[in-house]
Amino acid sequence: MHQPESVIPQNNRQAIFGYLFVLLGAFGFSAKAVLVKLAYSYSHQLDAITLMVLRMAISLPFFLVVALWSANDSAKTNDAQRLNRQDWLMIFGLGLLGYYIASFLDFAGLQYISAGLERLIIFLYPTFVVLFTAALQRRAINRHQAVALALSYAGMMLVFADNRAMASSGLLLGSALVFCSAVAFAFFLMGSGMMVKRIGSTRFTAYSMTVACLATGLHFVIQHGVKLLNLPADVYWLALIMAIFSTVLPAFLMNAGIRRIGAGSASIISSIGPIGTLALAFVLLGETLTAAQLAGTALVLIGVYVVSRAKS
């Protein structure tokens, strides 16, 4: 009788840590949009790729350390031998798609739309996964999924209409860019499942993020050349905060949380993300909170919750 009594508290402790890790990871990811908007406000010359390269340059050493540690650990267990040429091509392609292309489109879109609207559009990616998976597998969407999708997109249109009523400049362009970012991230998730099972989530994240960091640096050099950046000190501080607290830590916290509580529970807890973004945007950016925005956000969260439950 003694052994079960010691196991149960340990399981409870693991679950508590899992919930905490996912909550912190979701909050870190949600803060990114607000930090990007703050950085843009400090310098009108700052563009998406410049801010991205600052974020990635600071993040890269962390991911390289984890990548080298993972490769060394895998070599000791003869795990690295299982990575063939096709595996590396998958890692390269998914890293470009999920962490470079999707991120660039997101950063570019944030030049035109509010942080709250951006987070809601991005948060629709689980619904895109459902739609694309159904299309690829040629199967119908069930009634629960159809209702969830209708709720999500109705909420999105409500928030979009509210922003349009406020005559936001570049609303259509910014929303389209972020929408494409969410679509790219949905495809990334669909393709990354196999690689995560094959090499583990930590190793995959480290490798694919390293690819994205290098691609971002190449993009910057092609667009701006090799030159020293002359930006306000506040931009560099925000890039540092973004790299550590909205990139590196959330990525590994989310992975650690999912290992402890599962993807289904993690996706539900992650719904705090848009709410956190709205709160931070209200406090730090002075973005307005209207009844239409709150109602639209609630519809999106309910829809995504239903879809996530159905998937899990």
- Taking only the tens place, the pLDDT of each residue in 22-59 is 889 888 888 999 999 999 998 888 999 999 999 999 98
Question: Average of pLDDT values for 76-83?
Answer: 59
**How does residue 149 score in pLDDT terms, banded at 50, 70 and 90?**
confident
Per-residue confidence at 263, pLDDT binned at 50, 70, 90? low
Structure tokens belonging to residue 161: 């209409």
Task: Name the residue with higher pLDDT: 3 or 57.
Answer: 57
Length of the chain, in residues? 312
Measured CA to CA in angstroms, residue 27 lies from 60, 99, 107, 254, 277 at distances of: 21, 18, 18, 10, 8
Mean local confidence (pLDDT), 229-233: 86
Q: How much is the pTM?
A: 0.86
